Amino acid sequence: MTTFLKGHGTENDFVIIPDPENAIELPPAAVAALCDRRAGIGGDGVLHVVRSAAHPEARHLADEAEWFMDYRNGDGSIAEMCGNGVRVFARYLQYAGHVGEGDLAVATRGGVKKVHIDKEGLVTVGMGRATLPEGDVTVTVDDRSWPARNVNMGNPHAVAFVADLEHAGRLLDPPPFAPAEAYPQGVNVEFVVDRGPGHVAMRVHERGSGETRSCGTGACAVAVATARRDAVDPTVTGTPVTYEIDVPGGRLTITERPDGEIEMTGPAVIVAQGEIDTDWFAAIETVNP
Ligand SMILES: N[C@@H](CCC[C@H](N)C(=O)O)C(=O)O
């Protein structure tokens, strides 16, 4: 039997697979089956919880961070980072008794992230710095197109400011973007409207997962794109800037500091724990080796 848990951060939901010694094979088909909302457990992605020392991609980080977040998108693809995922990952480590409240470090494909779990259930993550590659990008939905800001948070984002979040449509498919060379590995697309000073709302279509109810790296990208649109740059002014970002699943608070480091704060919840049926899991791997 393989244990799983289910958790979410602002309703970006994950199947959590604890596997300290990295003994469980997770081919893309197994991840997609676990994330299937009708035939599986259901989730936007999988958080595979592995000791850094036991994973070839994280062994070199084992002295800095005991645990590695081996994150997978719902379609089985691998992504560099997942901001909501890191918060839920930390909450799982606390739930399982591996860590207590306070500070910890989590290894990710995007480097080691510093995390703080507070008494009220909120989790803050040091998300690193954004980079803003030059070049015009256009995002299209149906008969509307918008210029988008290219923001990299370890993973790629295209941030488009729109008049109405409904203009993003049903977001059943990845929104087309141009030029194609802008995102050779695909992109997460955020649609943003202003709500007031330091306050915006967004929807997101995630690479590898479809429309989700929140995206942590996306919220960071939106905060930076909004600041630059408004000619605000903490690395120039020396004054931190904070945005409240409303997502369909709740609210995230994003602060960009004068050194360019971005902090994200939001909730992280464990909702269930169970056992995956051995025969069902084995059959997926047999059919899709
Ligand atoms: N939901 C995540 C982002 C997950 C990765 C993304 N889909 C990608 O492929 O880059 C978040 O909270 O950041």
Centre of ligand 1 to C-alpha 268, Å, is 15
Neighbours of 109 (CB within 10 A): 17
Whether the CB of 215 sits within 6 Å of ligand 1: yes
Q: Tell me the per-residue pLDDT of 30-55, one tens digit each, with 9 for 90 and over.
A: 999 999 999 999 999 999 999 999 99
Q: Look at residue 286 in the predicted model and tell me its pLDDT.
A: 57
Whether the CB of 153 sits within 6 Å of ligand 1: no
What 3-state DSSP class applies to 244? strand
Centre of ligand 1 to C-alpha 151, Å, is 13
Q: Tell me the per-residue pLDDT of 181-202, one tens digit each, with 9 for 90 and over.
A: 999 999 999 999 999 999 999 9
Query: What percent of the chain stands above pLDDT 90?
Result: 97
Contacts 24+ apart (CB under 8 A), 245-248: 245/200, 245/201, 245/202, 245/219, 246/195, 246/199, 246/200, 246/201, 246/202, 247/10, 247/11, 247/201, 247/202, 247/203, 247/204, 247/213, 247/214, 247/215, 247/219, 248/11, 248/203, 248/213, 248/214
pLDDT class for 121, splitting at 50, 70, 90? confident
* 220 is a catalytic site residue: no
Query: What percent of the chain stands above pLDDT 70?
Result: 98
* Domains of the chain, CATH where assigned: 2-128+269-287 (3.10.310.10), 137-260 (3.10.310.10)
Return phi, psi of residue 246, to 5°.
-85, 130
pLDDT class for 1, splitting at 50, 70, 90? confident
CB 152 within 8 A of CB 132: yes
The pair of structure tokens assigned to 206 is 């995630």
